[in-house]
Amino acid sequence: MVLNRSFFIRPALTVAQEVLGKYLVVNGKAGKIIETEAYIGPEDKASHAFAGKRTERNKAEYLIGGHVYIYLVYGMYWQLNISTGQKGYPECFLIRAVAGKDDIKRTNGPGKLCQYFGLDKSFYGEDVAKSQRVWLEDRGENCQIVAKSRVGIDYAGPYWAKRKLRFLIKDYQKYLAKI
């Protein structure tokens, strides 16, 4: 079942956890979402919308939940985020890793999974609740969740760097730690 708008119009903290075990589907390829990070609005110093910042780059964060916010980091790696919550309030979650039919090493990081799925700027602003080329599905799988600190955000200060806003499916935690 394709996830509809009501799934995404909740807080990023909730959606980032509940999307684990669901499937990302892009142009016929699918992978189980096994790791995410939540970015919880303008108070979150690691968010691109910290302090209400609005730019051409982050405008999709301000869209109603369910829109793709994809951007380039280090000039070469795309990062797939999905907006959450209500229009005008910038929250989102980053999909960090998926497990697919192929080797998980190809999809065990946000840049790698975007490369594997062919995700790029052309997906910016896409509505995953209506799109014919990218969506999320619930296939009825349950999972146990582990919370960890987010990755690579020391610049946000110790409070935000240490908050447990990264979520993993417990069964994959050991495997992801090795890669």
Cα Rg of the chain (Å, integer): 15
**3-state secondary structure string, 6-56?**
HHHCCCHHHHHHHCCCCEEEECCEEEEEEEEEEECCCCCCCCCCHHHCCCC
CATH number at 5-178:
3.10.300.10
- Tens digit of pLDDT per residue, the chain (179 long)? 999 999 999 999 999 999 999 999 999 999 999 999 999 999 999 999 998 999 999 999 999 999 999 999 988 999 999 999 999 999 999 999 999 777 777 888 899 999 999 999 999 999 999 999 999 999 999 999 999 999 999 999 999 999 999 999 998 866 666 54
Neighbours of 161 (CB within 10 A): 17
Cβ contact 94:36 at 8 Å = yes
Amino acid identity of residue 114, one-letter, is C
- What pLDDT was estimated at residue 100? 79
